[in-house]
Amino acid sequence: MTEEFSQHHSIYRAFESLTAEEAIDTARAALLIATITYPLLDAEYYIAQLDALAYRVRGVLGLSLHNTHSTLESTAPLTIIDAINTILFEEEGFHGNTKDYGDPNNSFLNKVLDERVGIPISLSLLYMEVAKRVGLPIEGVGLPFHFVVRCVLPTEILYIDPFEHGLLLSEQDCRERIRRLSRGKITRLPQHFFEPVKPKQLLVRMLGNLKNAYLDKEDYKKSLIVANCILLLIPDAARELRDRGTIHLQLQHYARALHDLKTYLKLEAQASDRHEIQGRIQMIQHTISMMN
């Protein structure tokens, strides 16, 4: 067993164990994902950074630095949000990476904390983790093209964009933004997009961004690790099986590619790309026959 294989197998085992828990620790799961590129990462060091940011927020609010139970009773949510924004964006300078959006580091929580820069979902995760430690319930919202967070107030639901320095948005603001980002292709956004995402959904989306970033760089080995992690979370996801099969093909893992692509067609018999996939399967079968 090679050292590289052993390392990757350890990541899978740890990720499977962590995400099997009823209450998933998303910060630790995100830091585990980062060990794909940073195998010596010290998770406790970065968890302590999250704790320290929350500690400072509580200090700004004049709250007990250790007891979070009475936060919502004693302090208005908008006041807490303002304090979080002050610490994260004004004092610490966290911001969206508009110069190199496709950099894989944007998806790693450790690098977001190190460099103070990220993409919508990684900055949203940061925001959620700090808010949780302060005592304010903040939920992730997986809008198309742009991940945000939300806070449920007594009279309204407030959306917050950590990629834009904690910009406060209404639902209508979000709808207009998605219309612009889609260049008018999405004019009516179904209401389910505004529902909070579960931890596994957040991790799948984060991993999907990372997989695409590695594929753009033609780093198929790391793309495969990410694809395997996604399928640990959603084993029967047809499109993910197709993508992993294509990655296996790039790495000349012909038997594994054949298995994933055949499974994809079984799950998606009417897939729009079935003829293309059937062509790949025939090519793989021909290649395997030539090797035997």
Q: Where are the domains of the chain?
A: 3-194, 237-292
Strands 139-143 and 117-118: unpaired
- On whether the CB atoms of residues 72 and 136 are closer than 8 A, the answer is yes
Q: What is the mean pLDDT of residues 32-38?
A: 95
DSSP secondary structure code for residue 195 in this structure = S
pLDDT of residue 175: 95
| Closest among 132, 117, 127 to 147, alpha carbons compared | 127
Distance CA 15, CA 160 (A): 29
- pLDDT band for position 6 (50/70/90)? low
Degrees (nearest 5) of the Cα angle 240, 243, 245? 110
Distance CA 125, CA 130 (A): 9
The share of the chain scoring above pLDDT 70, in percent, equals 94
Distance CA 248, CA 15 (A): 21
pLDDT tens figures, 229-269: 999 999 999 999 999 999 999 999 999 999 999 999 999 99
- pLDDT band for position 1 (50/70/90)? very low
Strands 117-118 and 95-96: parallel
Q: Mean pLDDT in the chain? A: 93
